[in-house]
Amino acid sequence: MENNLIAITTLCSHYEIEFSFIDALRKTGLIQIVIIEQDQFIDQDQISELEKMIRLHNELNVNIEGIDVIFNLLEKEKELREELSALKNRLRLFEED
């Protein structure tokens, strides 16, 4: 499992972000941080979501609360899109008669 972990310090220097930003995301529950012997890590599965958060923050000036709202709405939108797709498929049962 530890192979999949990336040190927060590495992330901060790679993405040129402050540790406080990562910590604020953690406090809001947007990311999870793993602590091993006082070092902090993030699982690589969370990287693509983290990158999205960084882009929203840097490019659109969205604050942490805004990112939280956006992620919740995007999740709902995804669920609705999946539901719509499933319903379209079911509708085909009747349309093809």
Partner 1 sequence: MAFINYYKILGVSKTATEKEIKASYRKLARKYHPDLNPDNKKAELKFKEINEANQVLSDPENRKKYDKYGEDWKRGEESEKAQQQYQSQNRSRQQDFSDREYSDFFESMFGGRASSRQSHYTKFKGQDYHAELHLDLKDAYTTHKQLLTVNNTKIRLTIPAGVENDQVIKIKGKGGEGLNGGPDGDLYIKFIINNQTQFKRDGNNLYSNVNIDLYTSLLGEEIMVDTFNGKVKLKIAPETQNETKVKLKGKGFPVYKKKDAFGDLIITYHIKTPTHLREKEKELFKELQKLG
Query: Where on the chain is the footprint of partner 1 (CB under 8 A)?
Result: 14-16, 47-48, 51-52, 55-56, 58-62, 70, 74, 77-78, 81, 85-86, 88-90, 92-93, 96
In angstroms, what CA-CA distances link 48 with 2, 55, 86, 91, 96?
18, 11, 27, 35, 40
DSSP 32: -
Residue 55: CB minimum distance to partner 1, A: 6
- Considering the complex, state which of residue 33 and residue 56 has its C-beta at the smaller distance from partner 1: 56
- Considering the complex, state which of residue 32 and residue 44 has its C-beta at the smaller distance from partner 1: 44
DSSP H/E element including 42: strand 39-43
